Amino acid sequence: MLKSLVFVLSQISLTVLNFNKTHYVEFRMKNYYEVKTKVTYDHINISNSTETKFLGLIIDKTLSRNQHIDQIAIKLCSACYALRNLKHIVPHSTLRTIYYAYIHSIVSYGIIFWGRSSNVSKLFILQKRIIRIITNTGVRESCREAFENIEIMTYSQHIFSLILFAVKNKHLFTSNNEIHTYKTRNYLNIHLPTVNLTKFYKGPYISGTKAFSHLPRHKKILINDMKCFKLSLKRFLCHHSFYSVEEYYEHTDDKNM
């Protein structure tokens, strides 16, 4: 990988490459032995960085998303402050519009990549604080009903995005009915491959597979009509207001949604 990086750098003209803004990241496991690496171009050193921003997502050399989550938390804190000041001068419907116009994009962007991070709970706490402001819910009252009433997804947004990722990229997955022709109870499920790396297991490919396979059967059969499927899926997740992925997997079939 490093040789490829050096080769690419060697093909770029000095008039194009700004060395003050150029750096490289060595991705490695947490327990990997530290190796001193030096990358140069025409006797100019390329600086090493422990983290980088790629397509709006901040990742570090161990593929951690904690730095990205910290940045989202800062934005959500600012949103809380703004909504507290606005709630006294605008109606409830306007606050909900503001949520979808600004906050929703912050919470949902790239969530399939950082939604299983160890410190993601701090964002969910801030999201609940925002919902309390919008719905005027007390600090000792549960937010589940408030989430459902204004049709805003909780941690379910992560599940929603994972399932849509799996459905929209069906060509990347293998379903059980492609492996055998028997119409078993799970023949509509996506085949779960065997993996060894925890990073990959918690990633969108495996998580999307599991999230889709856990859907009630009457939801899965709608995937050929994407508009109907998305509407039904959103209604299902808004109604249940799951607070964690474990809570979603503990849920049993619901024929009414």
On whether both 29 and 97 belong to a single domain, the answer is no
Which residues touch 103 (CB under 8 Å, ≥6 apart)? 76, 79, 130
Higher pLDDT, 69 or 19: 69
Query: In angstroms, rounded to a whole number, what is the distance separating the alpha carbons of residues 242 and 252?
Result: 13
pLDDT tens-digit readout, 12-27? 444 566 777 777 777 7
In sign, the C-alpha dihedral spanning 100, 104, 105, 108 is negative
pLDDT tens-digit readout, 43-53? 777 777 777 78
On whether both 164 and 244 belong to a single domain, the answer is yes
| pLDDT, averaged across the chain | 79
The label of the residue with tokens 């997740």 reads 237
Higher pLDDT, 237 or 46: 237
Higher pLDDT, 150 or 177: 150
On whether both 146 and 167 belong to a single domain, the answer is no
Q: Which of 17, 14, 20, 25 is nearest to 54 (CA)?
A: 25
92 inside domain? yes
Number of other residues whose CB lies within 10 A of the CB of residue 180:
9
Q: Count of alpha carbons within 13 Å of 68, Cβ hemisphere only?
A: 28
Higher pLDDT, 232 or 63: 232
On whether both 162 and 241 belong to a single domain, the answer is yes
Query: In angstroms, rounded to a whole number, what is the distance separating the alpha carbons of residues 179 and 187?
Result: 9
Query: In angstroms, rounded to a whole number, what is the distance separating the alpha carbons of residues 140 and 129?
Result: 11
Number of domains the chain is built from: 3
Of the residues 126, 152, 178, which one is the last residue of a structural domain? 152
On whether both 18 and 79 belong to a single domain, the answer is no
61 inside domain? no
What tokens were used for 96? 């909900």
On whether both 41 and 87 belong to a single domain, the answer is no
Q: What domain range is 104 assigned to? A: 66-152
On whether both 24 and 73 belong to a single domain, the answer is no
Given pLDDT bands bounded at 50, 70 and 90, which one contains residue 223? confident
